[in-house]
Structure 1
């Protein structure tokens, strides 16, 4: 229950504000009550002092009033209106009945202590009481007379109240009325002062209690008003935050179509505007990601198609290159055969050289045959030269790879043609050699003259053999280049297939990205 209550921000604000206001109100109430109490105590103490001061003034005033009354009688006596005894008797009667307050009365004694007036005490008037002592052993009558005779003064003593027997502390004032020789006195009991003070104290306590009650009530009203204001303030603070929390929860759920508006100029307003800017930025980012994912899907599909086409072309190129390699191997085999034939021809020429002396008679026919051989040898040289050039071109084309295979195919065709010409020329040479041998038999006698030319022919045959060897070396290099190109083509084909596979995987990832982006909802425009 408590966790549920404190889960709301408005409840937290109201609770802690209420606690703070309650503590503040309690402190104010306690402080005010303490100050009021101290002031009340101080006022009562001051009142006691003032009452004592006022008591003395009251006693002096009352005694002087009584003396003024006696002066009136004395004036009548002096004027002869009243006799002395009658005047003093009437004055004593009036003084006996004279009162102030509830229990204030007057008494009168002569200078020697004989009592003249003492209300409430029978059998005392007319008797001397100067030697009387109170319950504490004080000769209070003597003290009263001395204070009055000396020009007026105060005396403290213990004396019972009217109609009572228990002696109580009392403060009296006395003053001598010289015409009658009376010391007039009056007094008040201290318990009357305490009673007055207690009455005032009770009244002040009641006032203090009422004041504290009113302060507590005002504090409670203040706390209740503060709680109401705190709850209202909590609503004003928590409602925008709760609204922001709900909208943030919707954004977290993928809804980017929520609208956040705030006219507040405080931190909550700044938070609302920041959330609105964040949503707009998220919308832009998600839309860009969606468009990018679509573009990636299209591009990856195109890349996959192109890679597949490249892979197919590379496979076809590899097949064509392998066919070229096969043709080159056949050409190398033919060149090797030509080289063997040239070597055999060289051997035949060497053997024929030993018999040249016996072939002198066939010199002319042999010369013609050898001229034809020379022309054929020229053709062989041209073929060899072109073959070398084609071999060079093939090496260059092999280095380029890729589409260069097509050019190499053309070169390989030319090489094949030259190889066939070389083979035919070699066959012609072989045939001519046979014809020359037959003619040599007829020109037996002319052989000695043809020895130098025959030697020259032997040299040419050796050169043919050497050229055939060089042709074989060039063909081997071309064949090696073709094989290297085959390997490169196969690698290109494998790489193209891998690229196609990667493109398909990229397209799949892009589709997954689009599915993830579709999680977000946009406001329809």
Structure 2
């Protein structure tokens, strides 16, 4: 495998990297899509459970009034039926109820009220009402079944309903998921994920193509000039343009310096050769005189020295870049840059013990769009006090960095697992007291030891933050 890649051209290697990146991104998109679909369905299921609980609370209210003597049992049941039958939610969805014998006492389909529906089956033969009663007797649960499409009876659609039991009256009540809205949300998430995936791949591919084309063009010019030098056809007058990126400019500058030095050596040797020829002519030698053929060996030695210097320079550049990355800081806040933050946190996660708890935190304004509308000076004025407060609040050894345009990200080690949430609540409370007219939310992901890498911790903390903001903001959520 190593020999195979060593034979590939630079262009092919870059496209291989892009292909692997695309495959990894697609796999990650599919995994995230599956997780998101599960979360959306869970939200819909939680919604119907809450609606059934609300209906049970109504029944409990009238049952209590009957026990207190304010109403008779029949009056309480009649009023409860009237209240629940009038309930509608989620574009016409309703609560259905049946008594202990399976007789429908409240239903969105008026024709079913007063009839025994215990034997009702779906087109596959499933006794769905019996299943709902069984789930209700077991403490509440969901039943999946098939039902004909209202627009095309030959097409079966998946349905899900939830049922629970009101024990004092032995009434079974439940409701169904709004499958159309659920499917629309799932399709929208699926389409958006694929569109985002396509945009990222196309954008990244275009950038790689332009970048690669520029590098290859410059390398070809350098390679052609060096081939001419190696073949004994030097073009000392040719100079490369010292522009582009820093590395390419340094490469062009080094080549130009080499050409100048070789041109100077060649000129000096030519001058010395002319002096020798003139002296030979004055001595009137009979044999023809030619210059000593030492230029090739001297040139080869010069090339070897240049190669060694270039290799050492490259190593020094790499070391300098790594050191610069580790100490690089944001000009506004004095905090670590995002790149330095990620490098240092990754290193610390690899070094900590298997029993050491630690957490990654991401906080941001709930109304960050308002902040981004400010000019740079206004944004700096808002963020600088928060950065200063974070440095004072967080314990020693905590890594802190800016996060995107208006947020912050930090990582800390704790003495116990619960300390991560305590620290998050303290930071949220103290920072919120500094703000006037703005709220912030905070997402946290905690783990013990090195079971999770930085990338997974980041994704979990970001999900927790987005969930906190979608629930109204000004909250602290842990993944």
Q: TM-score range by the shorter chain?
A: 0.3 to 0.5
The structure with more helix, counted as a fraction of residues: 1
TM-score, length-normalised on structure 2? 0.47
Larger gyration radius, structure 1 or structure 2: 1
TM-score, length-normalised on structure 1? 0.43
The structure with more strand, counted as a fraction of residues: 2
Higher relative contact order (CA 8 A, sep 6+): 1
